[in-house]
Homo-oligomer: A and B are copies of this chain.
């Protein structure tokens, strides 16, 4: 489990200690799962990661979570135990249940405005996937314009202020993958620092954030995973030392 090996069909139920610690069912290359890792790490909430081979899901995953979705968070201390899905809802739950180092603003108006910017990022991440898949790249830059303007308007180091906040972490997985896009697109990659001056500085600051560093992945590894997946043989265990 801690080896990062992705468990597949036929694998036994994972051997996780019965220590009452949260269990996160995850996939190492999934940007939605990354959101939950970022929030858990930023808030320093202990958890066990259980990585899942999404192409051949283990049978026991459906017992935990009938929809078989990842990320999923098992609240082992609660009666049931309940298994939460949906990256954004898991992150909201964590921020409410573990009030130390709050990531969402307290004020209802500021909070809903942050959620609207997270919601609006769905179009941007959609455009990212298309660009990463060989489609047009400009719609992705157009989407990022909104966040450049917003960060410039806020005039802070992070979207969350002088510290990272929820918006920083919820959009980060696709921003980390700018390097992946560069690798995939080659000459065609046209990120423009003069168009994104605030985001450029923010990217560098984010790369030094402890939670970001804890789950950071080199673009070459991401690219290699996507290559194996496109070839129909996804290698989930690229990062596993003994693989």
Q: Determine the chain B residues whose CB is within 8 A of the CB of A216 once the complex forms.
A: none
Q: A106-114, A134-142, A176-184: which one contacts chain B? A: A106-114
The 8 Å CB contact of A84, one of B89, B97, B112, is: B112
Main DSSP-derived SS at the A contact region: helix
**Chain B, residue nearest A95 (CB):** B108
Residues of B within 8 A of A119 (CB): 86, 89
Of residues 87 through 125 on chain A, the ones whose CB sits less than 8 Å from some CB of chain B are 89-90, 92-93, 96-97, 108-109, 111-113, 115-116, 119
User: Quick check: A89 and B115 within 8 Å, CB to CB?
Assistant: yes
How many of these chains are in the complex? Answer: 2
Cross-chain contact of A113 among B82, B108, B115 (Cβ < 8 A): B82
Is A21 on the interface with B (CB-CB < 8 A)? Answer: no
Let me know if A116 and B75 touch, CB within 8 A: no
Whether A15 is near chain B, meaning CB under 8 Å from some CB there, is: no
**Pairwise interchain contact B112-A89, C-beta atoms closer than 8 A:** yes
A30 to B108, CA, bound (A): 26
Q: Does A242 contact B (CB under 8 A)?
A: no
Within the assembled complex, what's the spacing in Å between the Cα atoms of A45 and B42?
Answer: 37
When distances are taken between beta carbons in the complex, the residues of chain B under 8 Å from A116 are 84-86, 89
Asked whether A78 is an interface residue with its Cβ less than 8 Å from the other chain, the reply is yes
Distance in angstroms between the alpha carbons of A89 and B119 in the assembled complex? 9
A78 to B93, CA, bound (A): 28
